[in-house]
Chain A
Amino acid sequence: MTELRTPLHDLHAAGGASFTDFGGWQMPVRYSSDLAEHHAVREAAGLFDISHMAQLMIAGPDAAAFLDAAITADVSAIPVSRARYAMLLAEDGGIIDDLIVSQNAPGEYLVVANAGNHDAVVEALTARIEGFEATLTDLRGHLALIAVQGPAAQRILEATAGLVQAPEWAMGHDLEELPYYAVMGMRFSSGGRDSAVLVSRTGYTGEDGFELAVDTAHAAALWQALLAAGEPLGLVPCGLAARDTLRLEAGMPLYGHELSRETQPAQAGLGRIAPPKTKTADFTGRAAVERGPGDDARVLVGLRAEGRRAARAGYPVLAGEEVVGEVTSGALSPTLGFPVAMAFVDPAHREPGTVLDLDVRGTRIPATVVALPFYSRKKS
């Protein structure tokens, strides 16, 4: 497999990161301690390199019509500067990937997809674009993506040297009042060079935060400027290990765990976005998801257990002697202090309050079905 490296790789190595392969990329798994990084995001802020995410630009007169037909979101209803969570489905309703799509200029859409699904997404969209007056540009190697997540995120962006609002490109927004799932343009100056930065108020940790797309040549300078501004406010660089426990606490599905080709959105609790009630356009997978996954299809639930032993992906869920489900993600929640898991279970066992058993390597551990997410940040 090709070993891809982000433009920040050398900074990670110099910063003491341990690396892991993720979707063909060498990515930092941690810098110091998973727990310290996790807690930093909940209490102050964390800095993540997510340049491995696939970024695709869709443009042209038919861009919205093409995306309407290709993915679940009602793309032609997305105003400029707004983002939506969406699914790319197969004809049978199975999930090829989950995406975020934003309209960054009239008729110009950025699609962010999972690193491991880059090729599948490009392939599906390329097949579906035929007949539309629209172009698909793969931005791999051109755009880096940096996430600043945590309650101090906004103060950190405001304090970052060289990062300024660009009135001509701010799409009517002000950083301070940038809504959740909205996008604005900023500018970043460093070493006499000036570049555009696309800032979106999105993230994958359950906290307030931003994701910053910047051209690869300026990524290292922006990372260092964010870190310099943020360190006094508690910002620490974070790896994928902390990102995984953060998203699990926030009940966010991960492709390959909660989402797959064998899963329809409704099974993962995402029926509200596919198909959206207001969307009229037909799209690939629409008929299948309208028929639904079947009354006996397993559904995603949250499970809370006592003690300190965590169930992991693949562990059986039992009701009495009967296997009624399987864990998709599990960890000892760093914030809550008890084990949490997401699992697909038979629908008869989905109600919150239901007590099931987790088979943790031969030991039965009682676990109670609870509503997701496990953790919600306090809204100020």
Chain B
Amino acid sequence: MADLSALKYTAEHEWVAVDGDVATIGVTAYAAQQLGDVVYVDLPAVGTQISGGAVVGEIESTKSVGELFAPIDGEVVEVNQAVVDSPDLVNAEPFDGAWLIKVRFTALPELLSADEYAAITGA
């Protein structure tokens, strides 16, 4: 399991792991739990230019649709085909197996710390 305290977060319930100029992005366990059983994941293609705040993907559960917001500006350099093929990974391993996209970014915006994110979710 990833070290959750080392991750950054967004108010849209995404986690961001930064390694050099590449950010790995997924949704938090809280988001996965709120969504319920995830049955479909739609992700941007490799090479897509994304800009912070834009909707770049969808995470559907039996009950509802969640949007994936780009937390940063950059280019999608990798998508997780395993989670497209097995959307239930989002529920099972939100912080590990179910990372969604890797983005090469130009600048890192201000993101939430683990404590700040926990305050949002009331955890």
Report the Cα distance A312→B67, complex, angstroms.
Answer: 14
Q: A18-B33, A33-B91 are in contact. Are A308 and B39 (CB under 8 A)?
A: yes
Report the Cα distance A332→B59, complex, angstroms.
Answer: 13
Q: How distant is A31 from chain B, measured CB to nearest CB, in Å?
A: 11
Q: Chain A: which residue is nearest B91 at the CB level?
A: A33
24 A-B pairs whose Cβ atoms sit less than 8 Å apart in the complex = A29-B63, A33-B91, A34-B36, A34-B63, A35-B37, A35-B39, A241-B62, A245-B62, A245-B63, A308-B39, A308-B40, A308-B60, A309-B40, A310-B39, A310-B40, A312-B64, A331-B62, A331-B63, A332-B39, A332-B40, A332-B60, A332-B62, A334-B62, A361-B65
Cβ contacts under 8 Å, A350 to chain B: none
A258 within 8 A of B: no
B61 within 8 A of A: yes
Cβ contacts under 8 Å, A18 to chain B: 33
Taking residues whose C-beta sits less than 8 angstroms from the other chain, chain B's interface range is 10 to 19
Please list the residues of chain A having a beta carbon within 8 angstroms of any beta carbon in chain B: 18, 29-30, 33-35, 38, 241, 244-245, 308-310, 312, 331-332, 334, 361
Verify A241–B63 contact, CB threshold 8 A: yes
Q: How distant is A278 from chain B, measured CB to nearest CB, in Å?
A: 40
B58 within 8 A of A: yes
Verify A361–B40 contact, CB threshold 8 A: no
Identify 13 new A-B residue pairs, CB closer than 8 A, beyond the known A34-B61, A245-B63.
A33-B36, A34-B63, A35-B37, A35-B62, A241-B62, A241-B63, A244-B63, A308-B39, A308-B40, A309-B60, A331-B62, A331-B63, A332-B62
Report the Cα distance A245→B39, complex, angstroms.
Answer: 13
Report the Cα distance A30→B33, complex, angstroms.
Answer: 10
Report the Cα distance A89→B84, complex, angstroms.
Answer: 46
- Which residues between 37 and 82 of chain B lie within 8 Å of chain A, taking CB atoms? 37, 39-40, 42, 58, 60-65
Cβ contacts under 8 Å, A361 to chain B: 58, 65
Report the Cα distance A30→B36, complex, angstroms.
Answer: 8
Verify A310–B60 contact, CB threshold 8 A: yes
Q: Chain B: which residue is nearest A333 at the CB level?
A: B62
Please list the residues of chain B having a beta carbon within 8 angstroms of any beta carbon in chain A: 33, 36-37, 39-40, 42, 58, 60-65, 91
Cβ contacts under 8 Å, B42 to chain A: 309
Report the Cα distance A171→B37, complex, angstroms.
Answer: 43
Q: Chain B: which residue is nearest A309 at the CB level?
A: B40
Cβ contacts under 8 Å, A241 to chain B: 36, 62-63
Report the Cα distance A18→B32, complex, angstroms.
Answer: 13
Verify A33–B39 contact, CB threshold 8 A: no
Verify A312–B36 contact, CB threshold 8 A: no
Q: How distant is A262 from chain B, measured CB to nearest CB, in Å?
A: 24
Report the Cα distance A361→B91, complex, angstroms.
Answer: 23
- The 7 A-B residue pairs with the shortest CB-CB distance, nearest first, are A35-B37, A308-B40, A34-B62, A34-B36, A34-B37, A241-B63, A332-B39
Instruction: Identify the interface centre among A34, A244, A245: most chain B CB within 10 Å of its CB.
Output: A34
Q: Chain B: which residue is nearest A308 at the CB level?
A: B40
Verify A312–B39 contact, CB threshold 8 A: no
Report the Cα distance A310→B39, complex, angstroms.
Answer: 10
Verify B40–A312 contact, CB threshold 8 A: no
Report the Cα distance A25→B62, complex, angstroms.
Answer: 22
Cβ contacts under 8 Å, B33 to chain A: 18
Q: How distant is B21 from chain A, measured CB to nearest CB, in Å?
A: 31
Report the Cα distance A285→B39, complex, angstroms.
Answer: 42
Q: How distant is A302 from chain B, measured CB to nearest CB, in Å?
A: 18
Report the Cα distance A192→B36, complex, angstroms.
Answer: 40
Cβ contacts under 8 Å, B60 to chain A: 308-310, 332
Cβ contacts under 8 Å, B37 to chain A: 33-35
Q: How distant is A13 from chain B, measured CB to nearest CB, in Å?
A: 15
Q: Chain B: which residue is nearest A38 at the CB level?
A: B62
Report the Cα distance A244→B61, complex, angstroms.
Answer: 13
Report the Cα distance A335→B28, complex, angstroms.
Answer: 28
